[in-house]
Structure 1
Amino acid sequence: MMTQHYFENDFIKLHYYKFGSGSQAMLCFHGYGMHGRQFTVLESTLGHKYTFYGFDLLFHKGTKLADESLATIKAGFTKPQLTQLIDEFCRYKGIDRFSVIGYSMGSHYATTVVEEMAERIDDYIVAAPSSIYAGRLVSFFSKNQAGNRLLAKLMLSEKAVLRILRLLNKINVIDATARRILNQEFGTPELRYAFYACFTYLRYLETNEEKLIHVLKQYAIKSVFIFGKRDKMYLPTIAKRFFSKYEPSAVLVLDENHEMINHNFAAALADVL
């Protein structure tokens, strides 16, 4: 049975869901516009093995920063800060070793945790792994200073955002599914502000590829990479260069688009864990 909880410190009031009853802990990091319940579909196939903790990520649903001002957002959320938060949460819950799963935007969080806390990780699972290759658009808006300033201005105008989404869909930068998800997330100034904050924070969670590969090998962490063959945003080809340097434990290519966290996903993942 799923239950809801909060973990709170001076920095954040972190809302999370707990489900599953297994002896192993798995921390779950959802995609943009989703919530900590996104991975509850895994309970039916893996709930006997894992107890899942699904967080509402920053600027999503029930999770709130103590200070969500523009100045705080621009200051960023660093890898050491995320590591400290996860470490404090694990001490609060009495968790020593654990696994992580991240989808799309959440893959940046999951990957950072592996980079910084590898000695405690059992399984590393990423789906639609933008942490491997975020794409030119995400990189421009999150890492490029001029791009990030442009994003800040665009987020003040709903009409400008909707026009941009139509254009990106037309030139195949995003597919219809991604456009629908993003349309839903830009309906109010608050949602557009959250979008800006999420993109801005991603610049501080950029994958250190060399370090990631090193710790995955050093600690023999089981790694599973999952793609949707109809996901125009993160096709399997984005991992070609990464996989030339590192051989994962499993690579799954599902007959799915970007919205792939479903019963088919759960069954396929259970087969390799």
Structure 2
Amino acid sequence: MGYLHIPQLGQVHYHEYGTGSKPLLAFHGYGMTGKQFHVLEQSVLPEYHVYGFDHFFHGGSALKDWSEQQIIQGMPKALVRNYVEEWFKLHGRQRFSVLGYSIGANLALILVEEYADLIDEVILMAPDGLFVYKGFHILTHKTLGRYLFRTVTKSKWIAPSLLKTLKRVGFIDESLYKIAWSEMDTEQKRLDVYYTLNLIKRLKPDTQKVAQLINQHNIKCRLIFGRHDNLFPKREAQPFINTLNNPEVHEVDLGHWLVTADLDKYLVKFKV
């Protein structure tokens, strides 16, 4: 474990694990920590030494001197580069790979924009950032959506009622309902959701540029989707996939809750 002290942001906590020698900078999904990928012990960890970063409002990472207004305005995309620059100060400038699951994929993709000449592999799991997810966009960018999001955050009863309605009309499935409810059953958890989604709302990769760089630098690219994922399904990412020269694409018989021992068992079959 360690910390990066990032100018203009604060303290970023990271976890180290894996028995491999190649560095892998990893970014987890909502409600987890940088330890999330520890379950990939047969497929990923023998090859890589993972540096799993905690998102802000998760684990041991903490913003420094940010007002609520700044958080709601969102983190400037340019600051993502500072993660790697500070990591280089501790571990030396070197080649590395990136891994991102769900909302963590945004940071991984932005690093491809910045460091394509140093990246060996990109691993994306149920990735956000390859297309605009309308639900998050409405909640963080549209006036009515922002108002409703703030109102739900402050209310003890609106959140459960809203989630039940979304499940009933089929907007979210049972697995997403359980995940969302587990992260919104207290006021602090609701605030963490509100702050997290607002903080990252400007961290949107340029997917056209990312694809060009992956092709130009012959970066190995693995994309893994859950067949039953209604949040970030493969079909929505297909336009991006079609622009890549030689992607390795998997659709696993899982939902959005993808980073599991079952995924590890699946991926190990494809190890060379």
- Superposition TM-score, scaled by structure 1 size: 0.91
**Which residue of 1 is the match for residue 3 of structure 2?**
6
Question: How far apart, CA to CA, are the structure 2 residues paired with 1:244 and 1:144?
Answer: 30
Write the mapping of 1:71-220 to structure 2, written as runs, cut at 5 A: 71-220=69-218
SS in 1 for 2:202: helix
One-letter amino acid of the structure 1 residue matched with residue 189 of structure 2: L
Structure 1 residues 248 and 163: CA distance shift in structure 2, 3 A: farther
One-letter amino acid of the structure 2 residue matched with residue 6 of structure 1: Y
Structure 1 residues 9 and 233: CA distance shift in structure 2, 3 A: closer
**Which residue of 2 is the match for residue 28 of structure 1?**
26
CA displacement at 1:204 relative to structure 2: 0.7
* 1:36-81, Cα deviation, whole Å (9 max, x unpaired): 1110012333333210011111111211111343122023212210
One-letter amino acid of the structure 1 residue matched with residue 76 of structure 2: T
One-letter amino acid of the structure 1 residue matched with residue 5 of structure 2: E
One-letter amino acid of the structure 1 residue matched with residue 182 of structure 2: Q
CA displacement at 1:142 relative to structure 2: 2.4
Instruction: Give me the CA root mean square deviation.
Output: 1.9
Question: How far apart, CA to CA, are the structure 2 residues paired with 1:268 and 1:248?
Answer: 20
CA displacement at 1:20 relative to structure 2: 1.2
Structure 1 residues 190 and 67: CA distance shift in structure 2, 3 A: farther
CA contact (8 A) 1:142 1:201 kept: no
The number of residues matched between the two structures is 270
Structure 1 residues 99 and 269: CA distance shift in structure 2, 3 A: farther
* 1:134-171, Cα deviation, whole Å (9 max, x unpaired): 42111211233442233122211121111111111112
Question: How far apart, CA to CA, are the structure 1 residues paired with 2:263 and 2:246?
Answer: 18
Mean CA deviation greater in 192-201 or 238-247 = 238-247
User: Please, which runs of 5 or more residues in structure 1 have no aligned partner?
Assistant: none
* 1:157-212, Cα deviation, whole Å (9 max, x unpaired): 12111111111111221111111111111122222111111211232111212211
Question: How far apart, CA to CA, are the structure 1 residues paired with 2:117 and 2:144?
Answer: 38
One-letter amino acid of the structure 2 residue matched with residue 252 of structure 1: H
Question: How far apart, CA to CA, are the structure 2 residues paired with 1:126 and 1:243?
Answer: 12
Question: How far apart, CA to CA, are the structure 1 residues paired with 2:242 and 2:174?
Answer: 31
SS in 2 for 1:155: helix
The correspondence for 1:44, drawn from 32, 42, 47, is: 42
CA displacement at 1:131 relative to structure 2: 1.2
SS in 2 for 1:102: strand
**Which residue of 1 is the match for residue 219 of structure 2?**
221
CA contact (8 A) 2:224 2:251 kept: yes
More contact order relative to length (CA 8 Å, sep ≥ 6): 2
One-letter amino acid of the structure 2 residue matched with residue 210 of structure 1: Q
One-letter amino acid of the structure 2 residue matched with residue 108 of structure 1: N
- Superposition TM-score, scaled by structure 2 size: 0.92
CA displacement at 1:251 relative to structure 2: 0.3
Structure 1 residues 145 and 222: CA distance shift in structure 2, 3 A: farther
CA contact (8 A) 2:4 2:83 kept: no
Question: How far apart, CA to CA, are the structure 2 residues paired with 1:169 and 1:43?
Answer: 33
Question: How far apart, CA to CA, are the structure 2 residues paired with 1:260 and 1:161?
Answer: 24
User: Please, which runs of 5 or more residues in structure 2 have no aligned partner?
Assistant: none
**Which residue of 2 is the match for residue 245 of structure 1?**
243
CA contact (8 A) 1:173 1:233 kept: no
CA displacement at 1:215 relative to structure 2: 1.0
Question: How far apart, CA to CA, are the structure 2 residues paired with 1:90 and 1:188?
Answer: 38
Q: Which 4+ residue blocks in structure 1 deviate beyond 4 angstroms?
A: none
Question: How far apart, CA to CA, are the structure 1 residues paired with 2:135 and 2:44?
Answer: 35
